[in-house]
Structure 1
């Protein structure tokens, strides 16, 4: 077997992980299968290069985040402080991953990790700290707070909205990967996702007492 450099081996492991995490699940895929798919003889290659399964997952998501950040940056700079516009920027950036098989696999992986973003605790996951994605979440939170939504409900809605967007993108990605025929064209799918997610965030507030003051998501 030909020797490979450290960076090349890392990249092979990441790409193999993308394939198997997407197909078998982040917790279902076996590390030995990822190592074999990457063409590595050392069964401890994942531990050597990433420390653990979690480290490999973070590396996969960090690469995916770099790609979407490039799309999100100009959208975020141009978006007004309006929930609909900000959700539109989020959906557009996420949809950029639908264009390649690699991106589609990463969308399927992201959906499995949607509750690990750190929104509920106002503490970003390390792969999201300092990113445009986290700033976007903070701007949506600020807008919802300005509309009078109290913190506990605001955080739950934000987490749910990200889950909805992630699940919808993952399902569309699955259809593309499987060669299935979606019910709607991509433009209509994305437009409807923006509308339904915005409606979820803007839904009327139910009666609720003894709510805590809002934390800072910035």
Structure 2
């Protein structure tokens, strides 16, 4: 994968491969898909429970209290894996003597999003993030969606280092560019999946991802 500096190969991971009870992971996987395809307001918790194969139509309320708590659990479960993977890539870059320049920081930050997949390779998590970041009535907890609500993790360190790279920009420009950078890679992954659904031939996900990361870097420093 010559388009990447740190990643040797993408390491896809499904919700069911993550840590947790099988019953809860089935609910989280079904919820991730539902929120990605229907948006926050369009999701029926009873339908999600049914899709997960759970006979108790109130299973989600039992485990996660309400819709907001359910969405938070989905994000936190994925975020734990994202932080683990990002820290692994930071360590790899340091071990290889790769300078943490902006393109490398963005590769480490955003490539793991493409690794969070559905059972058949769907990029539902990226679609969910894109929805939360761009919906008309923004979700109230964007820091949680981006993994920025708890100190001391790899995600926050990557954003800190990225902010240092654009510290020369006026504050309003930096804010706009950070906002665009947050959704550019998820949006690209969504567009690729939409084209596949429409029956179009598309390049491998690695090509799309590398281009999206290059565009994100250019948007931050141009």
Band of TM-score, shorter chain: 0.7 to 0.9
Matched residue, 2:47: 33
C-alpha RMSD of matched pairs (Å): 2.8
TM-score, normalising length: structure 1: 0.74
Matched residue, 2:212: 193
1:173 Cα deviation after fit = 4.1
Could you tell me which runs of 5 or more consecutive residues in structure 1 were left unpaired when the two chains were aligned.
1-5, 204-218
Matched, 1:20 2:42: no
Q: Is the 8 A contact 2:114 2:123 kept in 1?
A: no
Q: 1:186 to 1:42 in 2, by over 3 A?
A: closer
Matched, 1:157 2:168: no
CA distance in 1, matches of 2:40, 2:201: 25
Matched, 1:141 2:160: no
CA distance in 1, matches of 2:181, 2:42: 26
Q: 1:63 to 1:102 in 2, by over 3 A?
A: farther
1:99 Cα deviation after fit = 8.2
Once the two structures are overlaid, the 10-residue window that deviates more, 193-202 or 72-81, is 72-81
CA distance in 2, matches of 1:37, 1:72: 31
1:41 Cα deviation after fit = 3.7
Q: Is the 8 A contact 1:16 1:34 kept in 2?
A: yes
Matched residue, 2:15: none
Matched residue, 1:47: 61
CA distance in 2, matches of 1:183, 1:10: 34
CA distance in 1, matches of 2:58, 2:216: 42
1:185 Cα deviation after fit = 3.0
Instruction: Count the aligned residue pairs.
Output: 191
Larger gyration radius, structure 1 or structure 2? 1
TM-score, normalising length: structure 2: 0.72
Matched residue, 2:154: 132
Once the two structures are overlaid, the 10-residue window that deviates more, 134-143 or 100-109, is 100-109
